[in-house]
Amino acid sequence: MNTDPATSPSATSPSAASPSAPPPSAASPRASDDTVSLIDPRTGRIRGSSPVARGPRVAATVGAARRAFDGWRARTPRERSRALDRLAGLIEEHADEYAALERAGTGKPAHEAAGEVANAADLFRFYAWAARTQPAPAAGGFVAGHESWVRWEPLGVAGVVVPWNYPLMMATWRCAPALAAGNTVVVKPAETTPDSLLLLAEHAREALGESVLETLPGDRETGRLLVAGAIDLVAFTGSAAAGADVAARAGTRRVSLELGGNSPVVVLPDAPEDTWTELALATTYNAGQSCAVPARVITLRENYESAVSLLGEAMRERLAGRDFGPLNNADQAARYDRIVAASAAKLTVTADTAPGTGEEGGFWRPAGVLAQLPDDDPAVVDEVFGPLLTVQAADSVAEAVALANGVPQALAASVWTRDLAAGLDLAGRLNAGEAWLNCHLVQTAELPHGGRGSSGHGTDLSTLALHEYQRPKTITARLTLTPRFR
């Protein structure tokens, strides 16, 4: 995803910024050296402020997580499971508060925020169960007279850096398996969206214990300080450039990177009738600010014109302000505008916007379609991260696959056809960590999600994600104490 969260370590004391703080006027995001002004993306106006963690606070928070590690690790899987289940319960009990905090920082519609809070609670509950499932790849008598087995052990303190597009949910994707595996966690939210993670830290202290999960609000320097700090692994979700920086700073420590996508959507002439409506819904969910969002529609020549027409009609029905929220911040809005302005598309379809009263100054961008554009167009090659679809034509299915696989990102993709056998074959040929057939953005805790190429490496979701936060230890015991040599 093309978010650029702070990639630093350090922290100030977690004090929640009020989402209802008065927004007197638009101002510079930087309020002072130790606080940052928070902007409501729906209005573009200041809504409050948040602390910015620096070296001493980062070191103190990581140190506290280190001290908490032995106790958390020593808990039995059942005990950790019950604690995580309690945290899931607290999220559900305070779901309205979490949703309000999510909306304050992101501008999401109420139904999107509520659904994501419910998903976060479900994921903590899923990993509460997963904490009691410990797969062992090998055990038994592999050497005569000896017995061997493999233990999966936590790494220690996990530094988690997450973006602004799904503040609570992206943190949960990382924190829940790390905690289930027996690690303690220090999570760094994006500069613009600390709110819900500050509340999560409060509830984690109640459910898990002191400093098992802590939140470090701050800016990019805060993230860099965290990555450089005394942590044992880094789990980062954000842009490719920031991910490369994180990997360089992490050195030999474990790094898990989810660096976004530029998802191809291959639509064959026999696609289902609801293809265009479904693509419009998926593309505008969260204003298109999703790492796996549909981005590049690829058709055959024979259905290109109808695809552009039908997709344009479906996207015109989606109104920013009524059906989906704004872009998150001024920098993201400016980046989006630069990519669209640089496009050589000869055909542009743009929907209307419908911001509420007093929200005219927000970072609203309309749903749109770009067509008749070159294959190396900026809107094709770059991850746009907004409510926009490009449409390309291919002369054959083989060329469609080549276009789909022709960008550095390889996170997600989808295929649309009534021929299920052909669709499954095509999905298997796409270079993506996750591929859908006649749907898009359908995810659940049980199924893994992860990227390839410049989309990063590592696994989110499913029990496979536990291994991102564990390391195997082989133990071999001699079964007899009879001396081998006399």
Residues recognised as catalytic:
258, 291
Cα–Cα distance measured from residue 191 to residue 195, given in angstroms and rounded to the nearest whole number: 10
Q: What is the 3-state secondary structure (H, E, C) of the chain?
A: CCCCCCCCCCECCCCCCCCCCCCCCCCCCECCCCEEEEEECCCCEEEEEEECCEHHHHHHHHHHHHHHHHHHHHCCHHHHHHHHHHHHHHHHHCHHHHHHHHHHHHCCCHHHHHHHHHHHHHHHHHHHHHCCCCCCCCEECCCCCEEEEEEEEECCEEEEECCCCCHHHHHHHHHHHHHHCCCEEEEECCCCCCHHHHHHHHHHHHHCCCCCEEECCCCHHHHHHHHHCCCCEEEEECCHHHHHHHHHHHCCCEEEEECCCCEEEEECCCCCCCHHHHHHHHHHHHHHCCCCCEEEEEEEHHHHHHHHHHHHHHHHCCCECCCECCCCCHHHHHHHHHHHHHCCCCEEEECCECCCCCCCCCCCCCCEEEECCCCCCHHHHCCCCCCEEEEEEECCHHHHHHHHCCCCEECEEEEECCCHHHHHHHHHHCCCCEEEECCCCCCCCCCCECCEECCEECCECCHHHHHHHEEEEEEEEECCCCCCCC
Cα–Cα distance measured from residue 77 to residue 133, given in angstroms and rounded to the nearest whole number: 8
Contact 226, 62 (CB under 8 A): yes
Cα–Cα distance measured from residue 46 to residue 232, given in angstroms and rounded to the nearest whole number: 36
Contact 286, 105 (CB under 8 A): no
